[in-house]
Structures are given as structure tokens and as C-alpha cells.
Amino acid sequence: MTNWNDGYVVDIAYTYGYYPGMNPARLPLAFAFHGLQAPAIQTACELGFGQGLSTNFHAAASTTRWWGNDFNPLQAAFAQELAAASGSGAQLEDSSFSHFCRRDDLPDFDFIALHGIWSWVSEDNRQIILDFIDRKLKPGGVLYLSYNTQPGWSAFMPLRDLLVQHTQLAGNEERGLPTAARIEAALAFATRLFETDPVYAQANPFMRDRLKMLLQQPRSYLAHEYFNRDWHAEPFAEIHRRFSQAGLQFACPAHYIDHLDMANFTPAQRQYLAEIEDPVLYQSTRDFMVNQTFRRDYWVRGGQVLDERQRVQALALQSVVLLTEPDKVPLTIQNVASEITLNRLIYEPILQALSDYQPHTLVDLAASLAHRNLNLSQVIDSALMLIGTGHAAPLPPEPDAATFAQIAGRTADLNAYLLQLAAMVLPDSQEGDISHLASPLTGGGVKVERVEQLFLLAREICGDDVEAWPAQAWQHIAAQGKRLVRDGVRLEGEAENLAELATQARLFARTRLPLLRALQVA
């Protein structure tokens, strides 16, 4: 290594994101849909956990024991704070891959997760990670791997290289600037370049939109996503070659919408794909169909195949719960090439059946909707779509009452800590709001925006007196120099902000709060 961080950005913190694909509770439904038996997850590890939200949510909201590393000391310290707040016992450390992956005191793991990190580290670190997976993933164990891929990134790679080159080779007055400032200078350089109408932009006209998108992204996100020294966009076939050498097989996508060919391909494309027998070529061709930029996949070491009876039974007994109020679930979604309108005759009855915010098995949903001429297959596909769009969640197997009480206690403690953070200024606070809380029911995170978190904090102080919540929330918003935005306009005056908060608080109490209470987030 040339330095302690081995070319990885460490002077600007990563975003406070939550990534549901790393929730082991999502494995059974995804695996069963593809005819595989998901293993029980007792030990898990995340390599390069960033701010550690995902690991801490999954550790607090389940009985799984978690380990992990990140070599940004500030991020690791924050992750450790969350682990201490929940009492989950998650073992999260500030260390490099070379140190953590070579520890001789770690258990073997049922589940190992890498979100994006594979695309951003050196080849030496990739080899260390591969060796770790080879040694420490149990037979039957699952790897979650998300990574930049081709062909979607192919046209962008030269522009990315140019941006990084600018941050490294610009004049002396810029070289001494922190990462965020050097990113600004590089983006300004690229903007001026595109104004000259280079042939590269003519040959790749959509790169102008890509650059505009970069200009709108938080700089903390850009630093880690694009400006590390190492940046890779590997095609699926290369990933398959690497991980098959470690005894892993591709299991299925971790992104639930990717299970549904109807949502991604035209009839002609589906017919073309159906003719491909080789599974690696199939995935590679599929990526061309959607111009894939980012894959989220599950890999398994020796997966157990279900026969059709077992598969149908596993799917039928899977429980799901709604995460969004039914009237807020859009029935029009954008896929890679077009807009899809979901069938109201299917989705509206399913959403109505789930509107009690209670867990329902898919077989029970199908039975209750038989009079609407809906069958189990339609219910399963609809559940996958709702989960894939973030409006529903699959549930883990129900634990006994004592165990669930322990899990609920940990998530309550973690959420209490996060609500206190919502009232404070986080590092890089303009880009650093934590927008999820933990649910003991789903085993992971649930979207709860910061203003909603402040209402929950006010509720702890004022009880169910909704009219008192706005003043409590406004204290924290005003103290941070922030203001609400309505219809794209920033509200400057206190009276305007309080009036908007009052409107939002009543709506939250009437619509969102019952859902969060059912999920045991509130």
C-alpha cells in the first residue's frame, strides 16, 4: 500500500444511507421465487459498512450477530455509537481489509455483504476480500454483492477518468484543497468542456444528462462513488469468473424488481432471452437489454434446490407487510425504457387487503381475494413489485414472544438515539439526514423523513396533542438554521414554517403514524 487509506476517499464522510438488500429477512422470498432454500442467518458480516446504518439496523432488529469493518475512523466511530445505543452487540471496527479479513478470531459467516465497495477498492484489496469470502463463508452461506457494471457505465468511464485526473493534476492552488473543493473544480472543468461541444459528447449525447445529474448530487456521495483512486465497472461474466473460483454460484437478484421480466423487457426481448440456455450468457445479455449500470445480487455457496411443491409452499407461507399508505402507492412506475401502468384490478384489492398494516401470508392474501379472481401467482408477482418499489417488505420468520420482546427493545433504544440525532446537527448535516428508523417487524429499516422523526420526538414530550408538535419540531429546525420548503419555495418566516408544520403534523398523525405504530417503529 502507498498510504494508509490505499487510495480510498477518507476526508469526506459517506452518506447516511440504508440499503435493504443487505437485510437477511429478504432472502427467503427471493430465493424461493428462484427455487432455492434460503439458509438461516445466525452470523453475518459487512465489509466496508460506511456509516453503519444498515449493519446496525439489521443487528438490532434480528437475532443475527453482526461483524464489520470500515477504514474511515469517523464512520466507524459513528457505527459503534449506534451499536452501543441499541445494545445489539454488533462488533464493528475501524480497520483496513488487510487487517480485518486476516483476523483469526472471527466466526464463519452465514451471510457476507458488500455494498458498492467492490467497485471502489484496489486489486490487492479485492484479492484479500475474495480470500476472506473463500475462507469464512459457510457452506450454504450467502454473499450480497452490489457493484458497478457494464454496459451501462461504458460510455461514462472516460468522463469519470477525466474528472479524477483533474482532481489529481490540477494546478498547485487546487491540489491543496480538500476533496469536496477539488470535486467542484473538476465538475466546473467538465461543464466548460461540454460547452465546447466535443465529439465525445456528440457521440454520447446522454452524457450531458449524466453530467447534469452529477452536478445535483451531494458531494459526499460523489466523493465515494466516483472519486476514489480505484474505480471498476466489471461485466457480470468477469464477476462470475472471480466468485465461481471461490465456490460460489449466482443465486438471484437482490433487487426485487429484477425478478419480474414483465416489468423490464418487451415481449420480443423476453422471447430472445428465453432462447439462451447458458446462465452466464443469459445474465450478460439481460444487462444489455436494460443497459445495466449497477447490479445487486445474491451468491450462494452450495444452494439447496427446492422442488416445485416446496417452492410453492415456501412462497405461499411468506408474510409481507405494507410500508406505504395504500393511496400513496403509485400504480405507474418508470422502468429503464418506458413507463408501466400496474393493473388496478389486481393491485387495488391487494393494497386494500394490506391496509390494516398487519402481516399477511401470500396464501392468505390469495384466499381472501379469490372472489376478485386473483390467484396465488398474481399475488406473488404483485408482492415482488411492491417490495421492489419500496412500498412493502417481506417479513422474517416470527420468533417466540420473549425473543421478539428483546428485538423490539433494541430497536426502540436505537430509534430513541436516532430521534435525538434528528434534533442535532450531524457532520456534513446538509447532506447527512438519517431518513430511516428500525422496525422489529421487518428486521430492518423503514423510511421516516427527518420532519417525521421530529414529530415522533415531539410526541414523546407532548403525547398525542398534535397541535403541540409543530412548536417542538420548529425549535430544532430553527436552531440548525433550516427552513421548510413548500411547492419548491423556501419558507423564511417563523409563522409560515409553523403553519406548514401544523399541516404536516395533522397529516402525519392521521396517515403515517398508524403505519409506523403497526411496524413498531413508533
Residues 283-333 have pLDDT tens digits of 999 999 999 999 999 999 999 999 999 999 999 999 999 999 999 999 998
CATH number at residue 301: 3.40.50.150
| Over residues 334-349, mean pLDDT | 88
Residue 281 shares a structural domain with residue 345: no
| Over residues 65-73, mean pLDDT | 95
> Predicted confidence band at 175 (pLDDT cuts at 50, 70, 90)?
low
**Least confident segment among 161-170, 231-240, 392-401, 466-475:** 161-170
| Over residues 452-463, mean pLDDT | 96
Which pLDDT score is estimated for 481? 86
More confident residue, 9 or 337: 337
Residue 73 shares a structural domain with residue 173: no
Half-sphere exposure at residue 41, Cβ-oriented, CA atoms within 13 angstroms? 29
Q: Which of 394, 412, 429 is the last residue of a domain?
A: 394
Whether 507 maps to a domain, the answer reads no
Residue 142 shares a structural domain with residue 286: yes
Sign of the dihedral defined by the CA atoms of residues 482, 486, 491, 496, in that order: negative
Residue 127 shares a structural domain with residue 250: yes
Cα separation of 97 and 348, whole Å?
A: 48
**Least confident segment among 67-71, 127-131, 254-258, 478-482:** 478-482
- Parallel, antiparallel, or unpaired: how do β-strands 137-148 and 109-115 relate? parallel
For residues 261 and 121, the answer to whether their CB atoms sit within 8 Å is: no
Which pLDDT score is estimated for 514? 98
Cell numbers for 394: 417481506
Whether 249 maps to a domain, the answer reads yes
For residues 319 and 358, the answer to whether their CB atoms sit within 8 Å is: no
Cα separation of 105 and 321, whole Å?
A: 38
Residue 241 shares a structural domain with residue 385: no
Whether 53 maps to a domain, the answer reads yes
Whether 423 maps to a domain, the answer reads no
Q: What percent of the chain has pLDDT over 70?
A: 94
- The angle formed by the CA atoms of residues 98, 219 and 415, to the nearest 5 degrees, is 75
Radius of gyration of the CA atoms of the chain, in A: 24
Residues 195-244 have pLDDT tens digits of 999 999 999 999 999 999 999 988 878 887 888 888 999 999 999 999 99
Residue 238 shares a structural domain with residue 216: no
Which pLDDT score is estimated for 174? 55
**Taking 60 as the threshold, does the pLDDT of residue 76 lie above it?**
yes
Which pLDDT score is estimated for 102? 96
| Over residues 472-496, mean pLDDT | 92
Residue 219 shares a structural domain with residue 259: no
Which pLDDT score is estimated for 335? 77
Cell numbers for 474: 420548529
Residue 218 shares a structural domain with residue 110: no
Please give the residue range of the domain that contains residue 189.
Answer: 157-226
Cα separation of 239 and 298, whole Å?
A: 12
Whether 300 maps to a domain, the answer reads yes
**Taking 80 as the threshold, does the pLDDT of residue 429 lie above it?**
no
Cell numbers for 130: 475474495
Which pLDDT score is estimated for 426? 53
Distance of CA 41 to the CA centre of its chain: 19
Residue 197 shares a structural domain with residue 345: no
Residue 83 shares a structural domain with residue 32: yes
Cα separation of 317 and 336, whole Å?
A: 32
The closest of 125, 115, 104, 146 to 45, measured between CA atoms, is 115
Residues 345-371 have pLDDT tens digits of 999 999 999 999 999 999 999 999 999
Cα separation of 249 and 218, whole Å?
A: 36
Whether 9 maps to a domain, the answer reads no
The closest of 21, 17, 23, 19 to 441, measured between CA atoms, is 23
**Taking 50 as the threshold, does the pLDDT of residue 427 lie above it?**
no
Residue 97 shares a structural domain with residue 241: yes
One DSSP character per residue, 153-175 reads TTTTHHHHHHHHHHHHHS-HHHH
Return the HEC string of 263-310.
HCCCHHHHHHHHCCCCHHHHHHHHHHHHCCCEEEEEEECCCEECCHHH
Q: Which of 394, 410, 429 is the last residue of a domain?
A: 394
Number of folded domains that form the chain: 3
> Predicted confidence band at 4 (pLDDT cuts at 50, 70, 90)?
very low
Whether 211 maps to a domain, the answer reads yes
Place of cell 475474495: 130
Which pLDDT score is estimated for 180? 85
More confident residue, 186 or 173: 186
Residue 58 shares a structural domain with residue 186: no
Which pLDDT score is estimated for 144? 98
Q: Which of 226, 247, 271 is the last residue of a domain?
A: 226
Whether 362 maps to a domain, the answer reads yes
**Taking 50 as the threshold, does the pLDDT of residue 88 lie above it?**
yes
